[in-house]
A and B are shown apart, each in its own frame.
Chain A
């Protein structure tokens, strides 16, 4: 790379190929586990350990470069665009599952009940089946389980909504602290946000245990259980990732990493956090409430 340039191109790096191998090992381990039971577990663990090393190594390299001031404003904008498009791709991932939910509620369940063009389906497959949502009784209880009760919107889910919305506020408050150069506000705002994230995930885990143990609502509970657990499950996974990311940002803030002008990592994590927040609003309305 020429020194006469404003552009920054990073040095050759081993991290991408190591990341690829880590993911390859994870996929291999998972596929073996699915096929032959627990045999793939050690491979799976090895892959995740490697992936953890990659996170530390690769992001550590980027953080060092950033702290050494080698990034120009242009690199900063590239990172921002990359993160924005990544979040957009995540939105589309959730869209697939929301689409499945809407399709099940609008079409497949009513058609199985004989509505619209589904009269013959109903008559020949499961004549006793009637359309309902939540679908406590799937058409066939031979392959899929019925369940007694859903998780109501106005218990834990309502409080979880309040928790996530508040955490969106606290992370913004921390951002204001960062811009003003108020370290106490930055660190306490982030610590609060991490705490709220942890509480959210804890409550969600508690709710899952309740669903499985008391309500009989499982992954196997027909289309209601399938959409419920995959939508809330992937969201919960994203909140967990977001909380870890916030914790890293908190640790970096304590080390004094960010400046009022230069804090892309903080903003990227904050955007991500708002994204999981917005997905949750969709979940609360369409999965729990309506």
Chain B
């Protein structure tokens, strides 16, 4: 194989310098750009989180005024969701999907380049608002009217940034879907696909189905503000709550857009370091599909307290709690894979195990929030903040870290520094729990979210949380250092990299050739490879 790929590499001609990156149609170049962009945005969004934790370090107003604080909350969320986790998953899909299914590249390479380059421009539109009169959007990333309609000059920038980002995500999703359905190597049947590919099929479907709805919702905001329509104004026969319904019809599938690829990553890493096939492959696929289906009929659990009819409250409670079933299937399958296996604990495995435990904590608090009567107490408190940070930071972001450590040697051809990786894991894991676990108690005690000041009885837990936050933030600098060090060189990685690694991407050289599989791989390498 390596002889063959070396031969192909000589044929891979491409422009150099900035032109290479501006014009590239190569899935690896585009994947790299996505991932680097995501990492940069992680630190911009993270800096905003540091400002939030700094302000909350003690009661009273210390550093920023409330308007700016709310801008930070809003922008932190938009950046972390649309600028970090979503682009990172698309970046991983770009790098990995063609290699995993035995294809030379993505199905629609120019669309691929376009989907990426929209991102920096869309975030320019969004970040420019920090310097506009009235400041950046401060009504929360959920953009509820009528509050969001009071945004100053930033308002149309916010709306258009969302449109722009949506176009990028839809383009990226269409590309992945077309690639998986059309570019699979002969013999790569659907139920042989690695789970990362499967979770991305479902994620792609969710993206294409839900982001246009968000586009519609923000378009209605725009016309309400500038063209005199009354979608969200009761005075004209509309309803502000209607926005929440439309928004969360997008918003809940969006949650699974952020987390489903994480399931795929963890399903790749755990079997590798357990040296054992994944337990219950088929049930994993069906569970992901079931979660995706349910994600479209649970949206109003985000709005139990707005005054819905009782039948609505009950329906959305039952469907929400039902999601625990397929999610439980997945968690039990991961644990069953580990059962009586020969485990080793390299950094990707540490992050994957951290994911399983900590994501499950976030899942449990989600169940608590899903029960309507108790949600009336938890709604809009720090309990909600703790919940979604457990699923998004120790869930989505942890799996992104795990995936980075897992595939980085394949991409760069060098091993990362294992000792530093372990330091990164332990520093992150201790600090992230110091950061977010006390927020459960704050929420249960009644501390509301999105407010820069708080009552003095919340002071101790906020100090603890802020200290955890600063340590967690600083620990991520180590992550960058490890990546840069690995890119620059180190111990050479083998083609298979990990002893127990299974799948087509490990049959390619490390680093892989510019175009992954110019000739389809031998079907016999597929069978044993993927489960």
Contacts and interface: CB of A to CB of B under 8 A. Distances in A.
Contacts of B231: 100, 104, 223, 226-227
A226 B217 CA distance: 13
A99 interface: yes
A31 B156 contact: yes
Interface stretch (A16-24, A261-269, A280-288): A16-24
A223 B237 contact: yes
A151 B420 CA distance: 70
B311 to A, nearest CB: 10
Interface residues of B, number: 84
Nearest to B120: A20
Contacts of A184: none
Interface in A40-62: 58
Contacts of A7: 103-105, 515, 518
B8 interface: yes
Given A9-B25, A24-B125, A34-B156, A16 B114 contact: yes
B181 interface: yes
B177 A81 contact: yes
B210 A2 contact: no
A31 B208 contact: no
Contacts of A93: 212-213, 215-216
B518 A100 contact: no
B131 interface: no
A90 B245 CA distance: 19
Contacts of A150: none
B223 A219 contact: yes
Interface string B228-254: 111101111111011001100100000
A213 interface: no
Contacts of A19: 114
Given A24-B125, A78-B178, A104 B518 contact: no
Contacts of A224: 237
| Interface size of A as a range | 35 or more
- At the interface, is chain A mostly helix, strand, loop or mixed? helix
B485 interface: no
A24 B121 contact: yes
A34 B181 contact: no
A71 interface: no
B324 interface: no
B160 A78 contact: no
Interface stretch (B10-18, B73-81, B287-295, B496-504): B10-18
A230 B224 CA distance: 11
Interface stretch (A134-142, A202-210, A245-253): A134-142
Given A138-B236, A144-B235, A223-B231, A86 B113 contact: no
A85 B223 contact: no
Interface string A1-28: 1111101011111111101110110011
A125 interface: yes
B121 A20 contact: yes
B111 interface: yes
Q: Mostly helix, strand, loop or mixed at chain B's interface? A: helix
Contacts of A13: 23, 25, 110, 113
A89 B211 CA distance: 8
A17 B23 contact: yes
B237 A12 contact: no
Contact of B228 (A20, A34, A78, A218): A218
B109 A81 contact: no
A127 interface: no
B519 interface: yes
A223 B236 CA distance: 6
B454 interface: no
Nearest to B240: A108
A14 B23 contact: yes
Contact of B215 (A30, A96, A116, A143): A96
A23 B164 CA distance: 8
A3 B216 CA distance: 45
Contacts of B174: 81-82, 85-86, 89
B203 to A, nearest CB: 13
A107 B239 contact: yes
B470 interface: no
A97 interface: yes
B54 interface: no
A219 B230 CA distance: 8
Q: Which of A5, A11, A31, A218 has the most CB of B within 10 A?
A: A31
A12 B25 contact: yes
A77 interface: yes
A104 B163 contact: no
A148 to B, nearest CB: 17
B463 interface: no
Contact of B242 (A5, A12, A89, A108): A108
A11 B209 CA distance: 31
Given A12-B24, A81-B177, A226-B230, A5 B238 contact: no
Contact of B109 (A10, A31, A226, A230): A10
A78 B167 CA distance: 19
Nearest to B117: A20
Given A16-B117, A78-B183, A219-B223, A92 B104 contact: no
Given A104-B242, A144-B228, 16 more contacts: A1-B12, A12-B15, A12-B23, A15-B114, A16-B110, A17-B113, A27-B157, A34-B156, A81-B181, A89-B174, A89-B212, A92-B213, A108-B234, A139-B236, A219-B223, A227-B231
28 contacts: A2-B8, A12-B20, A12-B25, A13-B25, A14-B22, A16-B110, A16-B113, A16-B114, A16-B117, A30-B156, A77-B182, A78-B108, A78-B183, A82-B108, A85-B173, A85-B177, A89-B208, A99-B213, A100-B216, A100-B220, A108-B239, A144-B237, A220-B229, A225-B230, A226-B220, A226-B223, A226-B236, A230-B229
Interface of A: 1-5, 7, 9-17, 19-21, 23-24, 27-28, 30-31, 34-35, 58, 74, 77-79, 81-82, 85-86, 88-97, 99-100, 103-104, 107-109, 111-112, 116-117, 121, 125, 135, 138-140, 142-144, 218-220, 222-227, 229-230
